[in-house]
Amino acid sequence: MLTLRSNVGASLSSRGLIKFVIGVLVAGGLTHAVTAMSVTAAIEWRYADRIFDIRNWPGSPTDGFRLIGTYLRERLSKLDPPVTMFAGSSVTYGYPWSRSQIFSRRYSEARQTPVVNASVLALDVSGINDWIVCAAVRNKLRVATLIIEVPVINTVAQLAAHHRSSTPAPPMSDCVGIPDPGYAWLAWSRPLGLGWFVFLWDRDATEKPDAVMNLAAVPVGYFTGAADFDAVAPLFDTQIATLIANARTVADRVYLFPSPVFIGGLEQIGEDAASVRAQIARAMTACVQAGGVRCLDASFLGERQDHFTNFTHLNQAGHRALAEWLATQVH
């Protein structure tokens, strides 16, 4: 067996090893810098029309939550006023369509106005308040127009679940907090490596052909029945009022519309259409009572099966219709 020295085949002085270690550290630092700059550029380039899907964030949940503030700060700093901001759940996010096919983009084209869409999949009213509207408040941002989707089905289902389990719904945020960092600071302070690819991968980037929904049963409990709704209706009103109060502090004009639901098909799958109608009507009433905002009734979409891809999500025709209608409603 050879000695270790012969195995290695070369000797190395202390200075050589120190140089090697320094070289490794410098190369690592440079790689970090290049990664951070690339990430910043990639976000700017890929996510101008709507926010990334923050549910893919591989870092801590707190960071994910603050990313919305980062996104709003960065986008609004680059747009010329007057800017229209969209805040909502999956309908406004545009699931499952690409960013060129969603109503906020079509609205922007129709009105020739810059928009920023910070919607997050699967949010309820408290989520829209805590995650999106509070992000704008926290960062002292202001837009000319704020259009908010009220995800009625998600919100009522959440509240009903809390009610059934006798656990109080978490209180909504009062929007107090420090401003969020910009992209550059975020990318520099978060060495995520491949995690950036995972996070910035837009699975809805491809333009898909339009699709009309089939009437298929939804999971049990997806729509909340009348009895459960009655129990949570006052809290539902309160949440909408809180959302409106905070929204009014970040926009000159605020518009609310309940998420469209294909009510026309609910009875055919054995769901309580009257209860869903009542929930949407209650959202409208709560909006009107809160005051200071315009409450838009998008229920005309609810009878058009050809505008939905499933009971609670619009297809491309639906997105076009909603954009055209909003363009006529917003002043």
- Is the peptide bond preceding residue 181 cis, with omega within 30 degrees of 0? no
Nearer to other proteins, 13 or 214 (CB): 13
Nearer to other proteins, 73 or 190 (CB): 190
**Helix 103-111 and helix 316-329, axial crossing angle in degrees, nearest 10:** 40
Q: Is 32 in the site for other proteins (CB under 8 A)?
A: yes
Q: Are 70 and 180 in contact (CB under 8 A)?
A: yes
Shortest reach from residue 30's CB to other proteins, in Å:
8
Distance CA 131, CA 274 (A): 31
4: Cβ–Cβ under 8 A, 6 or more apart, which residues? none
For residue 276, give the nearest of 255, 257, 258 by alpha carbon: 258
Pairing relationship of beta strands 143-150 and 251-258 according to DSSP bridges: parallel
- Interior CA angle at 102 toward 98 and 108, to 5°? 125
Q: Is 30 in the site for other proteins (CB under 8 A)?
A: yes
Q: Is 55 in the site for other proteins (CB under 8 A)?
A: no
**Beta-carbon count within 10 A of 53 CB:** 18
111-170 residues in contact with other proteins (CB under 8 A) are none
Query: What DSSP line would sit under 252-315, residue for residue?
Result: EEEEEEEPP--GGGTGGGT--HHHHHHHHHHHHHHHHHH-SSEE---GGGGG-GGGEEETTEE-
Among 206, 214, 220, 270, binds other proteins (CB under 8 A): 206
Among 28, 170, 234, 292, binds other proteins (CB under 8 A): 28
Alpha carbon separation from 117 to 3, 22, 93, 240, 281 (Å, rounded): 66, 45, 7, 20, 25
Among 4, 176, 216, 220, binds other proteins (CB under 8 A): 4
Distance CA 323, CA 160 (A): 31
Shortest reach from residue 183's CB to other proteins, in Å:
17
Among 42, 59, 200, 233, binds other proteins (CB under 8 A): 59
Shortest reach from residue 310's CB to other proteins, in Å:
15
Count of residues that bind other proteins according to CB under 8 A:
41
Q: Is 214 in the site for other proteins (CB under 8 A)?
A: no
Nearer to other proteins, 4 or 220 (CB): 4
Nearer to other proteins, 64 or 225 (CB): 64
174-193 residues in contact with other proteins (CB under 8 A) are 191-193
Among 41, 122, 205, 217, binds other proteins (CB under 8 A): 205
Among 46, 58, 121, 248, binds other proteins (CB under 8 A): 58
Among 80, 203, 270, 331, binds other proteins (CB under 8 A): 203
The two three-digit tokens of residue 301, written as one number: 């979409």
Q: Is 61 in the site for other proteins (CB under 8 A)?
A: no
Q: Which residues bind other proteins (CB under 8 A)?
A: 1, 3-5, 7-14, 16-17, 19-32, 35, 58-59, 191-195, 198, 201, 203, 205-206
